[in-house]
Structure 1
Amino acid sequence: MIVVYDAHCLLCSGFTQFLLRHDRQGVLRFASMQGATGRQLLAQAGVDPDDVDTVLFVRDGHAWRESAAVLRILHELGWPWRLAWAGWLIPVPLRDALYRCVARNRYRWFGRSDTCILPPPGAVQRFLD
């Protein structure tokens, strides 16, 4: 299972750090959308790697974007994060509209970094590039 995230976005980097802390099974791997693996996964999912406003979650050859990706990622963390599964009750157009609003404004609201996060000790092998 691979999470493709924006390494320059402080919100995305914070979410990645959150996932590292709470993924007790260590099943999630990470690829920045600025790296070769992330760009390849985005292209395979039909997302333009040069114009990305989404997180991508890839599992067993399937890819999810936007709010569906976030809900599936949180589900993988187990209890209590699986409670986020209730988000599926919110209609997709509303859920994705909220996601896109945050994604479009993520740099303005949360900031941008010119450097990628450094994986914590013991997690380096979980980052694909």
Structure 2
Amino acid sequence: MSERAAPPVIVYDGVCLLCSRWVRFLLQRDHEGHYRFASMQSESGRHLLQTHGLDPDSPFSMLLVEDGHGYTDTTAIARVLRGLPRRRWHWLGGLMLWIPRTLRDVAYRFVARHRYRLFGRSDQCFVPSPEQLSRFIT
């Protein structure tokens, strides 16, 4: 009997409005519930960040934990897009991976450093609907 792999988890900044939009985008497109979510402000989100060598108090990276491996920045975004059911997102994720990571991540790091100023910040984490709640880890 084989064990079923844990679903991939996306750790995101729950008070960042851009990050919350990213989560909503994924919730609307991932109809099968492939991805789980943990805000970096939650206990499990902080633990995952620390486990994968990221500082939860100074996070500039999005983290995707998939099959026990941690992926950050544009690699995480590309892998998530490739995991969505529609071909256009899979294609876009694949295209992103063709661009050298150093070039991709320069732009990502700029946006990550200035995300609150560019997109805003909420006083509280994104609150999922009751139907979405099972996809979030606290």
Q: Tell me the alpha carbon deviations over residues 32-71 of structure 1, each in whole angstroms, 9 at most, x when there is no partner.
A: 0010000000001000111101110001100100000000
TM-score, normalised relative to structure 2? 0.91
Computing the radius of gyration from Cα coordinates, the structure with the larger value is: 2
- Mapped to 2, the partners of 1:66 and 1:58 lie a distance apart of 12
SS of the residue aligned with 2:53? coil
Q: CA RMSD in A?
A: 0.8
Count of residue pairs the alignment pairs up:
129
- Aligned equivalent of 1:90, options 91, 96, 99: 99
- Mapped to 2, the partners of 1:21 and 1:120 lie a distance apart of 12
How far apart are 1:121 and its partner, in Å? 3.2
Q: Which runs of 5+ in 2 are unaligned?
A: 1-7
Determine the structure 2 residue equivalent to 1:24: 31
- Mapped to 1, the partners of 2:48 and 2:127 lie a distance apart of 21
- Aligned equivalent of 1:105, options 96, 103, 114: 114
Q: Which runs of 5+ in 1 are unaligned?
A: none
Determine the structure 1 residue equivalent to 2:128: 119
Alignment of 1:1-129 (within 5 A): 1-78=8-85, 79-84=87-92, 85-129=94-138
Amino-acid identity (%) = 47
How far apart are 1:120 and its partner, in Å? 2.2
